[in-house]
Each structure stands twice: as C-alpha cells, then as structure tokens.
Amino acid sequence: MKKLIVNADDFGRHPLVNRAVARAADEGGLLSASIMAGEKYFAEAVDIAKSRPQLGVGVHLTLVDGSPLLSPKEIPSLVTAEGRFFPDHGTFVKRFLGGKISLAEVSRELAAQMDKVLSAGLRPTHADSHQHLHMLPGIFPLVLRLAAARSIKRVRISRGIYGNPLKPWPGIGDLIGKFGLEALACRNRGLARRLGFAYPDNFVGQVAGGAVSASFMLALAQTQAPGTVEVMLHPGLDNEVLARETGWQHDYEGELTAVCEERVKEELIRRGIELVNFGSLG
C-alpha cells in the first residue's frame, strides 16, 4: 500500500496561508496541516479546520521565528529582549549547544502550545515543529513525553536526504544541515518506535532544495515505494506579501498550485497512491 501525506506547515500564521490551506483541502490537494498556536491568525485556522473534517491538523511546535504563549519572565532563555523567540534555527541551535537554552522552559512553552490547540476543540493528529527543532537531542524525547500525555501518538521524523536531490547544489551550511538532519532522523526513529509513536516511512522536506513543484510531485509519485511518505510544504496565495511579512523568500503560490494540479492528482490515482493525513498511521 502506498500512502502520501501532503502537509501544510505554518497554518495560522497569516490569512493568505490559511486561505491557501482551505483551498488545497477543498480541491483535494492536501489532507493535513500543522497549526501554530502562538500566531495571531490561529483562531481563523481553527475555524477552517473545524469546517473541513477531512483535514487532519497537527501541532506545529514553535521555538523560533514567532511569538511565545508564555510571558518572557516564564521562559527567559527562549526569547529576545523584545519578548519574541529568536529569529531562526541557527541562532537557537548555537544557544542550545552552548547550554543557554533551558529544557524546563522549552517543556513549559511547548505544553502550553499543545494545550491551546486542544482547548480550541481540535484533536491533533500529530506533532512536528517549525524549522525542525523538535528533532534536536533532548528536545525530541521531551516532545514525545508531552505529546503522549495528551494522546498525540504520531510525530514527524524530519529527514534531509530522501527525495531531495542535491541539485541545485546547496552551500556548505545547507549540506551540513541536510546530513545533520538525516543523522538525527536515524536516532529519533528508534526512540519513537520504542515509545509507541507512529510516523511516516519517509519525509520530503526540501531542505535547501527550493519549493515543491508539480514536476517534483510527479517524479515522487513515479518512484514511491510501498509505505507512507510525508511531503512538507508551505502554501500561500501571494508570494510578495508573504515574503515581506514573514521575511522568507519562498514560492508559496507555486507549492499551492503544484499539489492542486489535476495532472498530479491523476498521477497519484494512476500509481495507486492514497492521499491521507497522519490519522491513518499506526
């Protein structure tokens, strides 16, 4: 059996992201999304999810590039002087490796994020994270413990290599990131299995590889082996606006179009690949 999870990250971050997730769900391009509990369009995303029972929603745990739920006084090691999370994973990882991140504070903040999603009336299908920080040693087991306590027993295992050809050739920093993430995936799969968590067999994250395109989806469909693959994407409705407001140059519109193209959906059917969400695992 071949199954494909197409998952939209950053649900709740911006109305143009929320509307893209709604459109893709309505058009059958995706059945999964990950919601950011600390972003200001969270409530709108919850309404979209509740009106689309086919859409499985996970918790997009956030420790960088966003707003915390707890006050800066409760999590001083996680925030800047302005009370926001640090801007990116690079800054966070340097602080983490330098012993400047409190795991107790990480636990409190991530618990608050999971609890907010549950309190909104959603039943999360899975847990993952913004910029893959849940994969870090020390943080991954913490996430599993918090999720299991809330009956969330499916998790993303982010990978850096599968389905990500090294073209265009990434810079040395991106290349290190790809292989580093791959090493963490090998380690974390075993722990997830031992603790009774389900996860897709493979993950396509496009780390340093650009946006997901229709040609990429067609090639993936043609080569997918039996099992479940997750494709992570960031759909949106206006590249210019989203790049300006998120600070990330990305082809949001292209990813939305790619997964909604009829030729992509037809190819999945022709290849016997079932489009699902995390709820189908385990």
CA 8, CA 21: separation in Å to the nearest integer? 7
Q: Which residue segment(s) compose the domain that 259 sits in? A: 2-280
pLDDT tens, per residue, the chain with 282 residues: 999 999 999 999 999 999 999 999 999 999 999 999 999 999 999 999 999 999 999 999 999 999 999 999 999 999 999 999 999 999 999 999 999 999 999 999 999 999 999 999 999 999 999 999 999 999 999 999 999 999 999 999 998 655 554 444 455 556 556 677 888 998 999 999 999 999 999 998 754 446 889 998 999 999 999 999 999 999 999 999 999 999 888 999 999 999 999 999 999 999 999 999 999 998
> What pLDDT score does 208 carry?
40
Q: What is the CATH number of the domain that holds 257?
A: 3.20.20.370
**DSSP calls for the chain:** -EEEEEEEEEETS-HHHHHHHHHHHHTTS-SEEEE-TTSTTHHHHHHHHHT-TT-EEEEEE-SBSS--SS-TTT-GGGB-TTSSBBSSHHHHHHHHHTT-S-HHHHHHHHHHHHHHHHHTT---S-EEEGGGGGGSTTHHHHHHHHHHHTT--BB----SSTT----SPPPHHHHHHHHHHHHHHHHHHHHHHHTT-B--SEEE--TTS----HHHHHHHHHHPPSEEEEEEE---S-HHHHHHHHS----HHHHHHHHH-HHHHHHHHHTTEEEE-GGG--
Instruction: Extract the tokens encoding 120.
Output: 């909104």
> What pLDDT score does 144 carry?
98
Residues 58 and 123 sit within 8 Å (Cβ to Cβ): no
Question: Could you tell me which of 110, 113, 209, 106 has the C-alpha nearest to residue 162?
Answer: 209
Residues 12 and 37 sit within 8 Å (Cβ to Cβ): yes
Q: The pTM is what? A: 0.93
What total of structural domains would you count in the chain? 1
CA 119, CA 132: separation in Å to the nearest integer? 24
Q: Name the one residue in this structure whose structure tokens are 């006084």.
A: 73
> What pLDDT score does 282 carry?
84
Instruction: Extract the tokens encoding 56.
Output: 């499985």
CA 200, CA 138: separation in Å to the nearest integer? 22
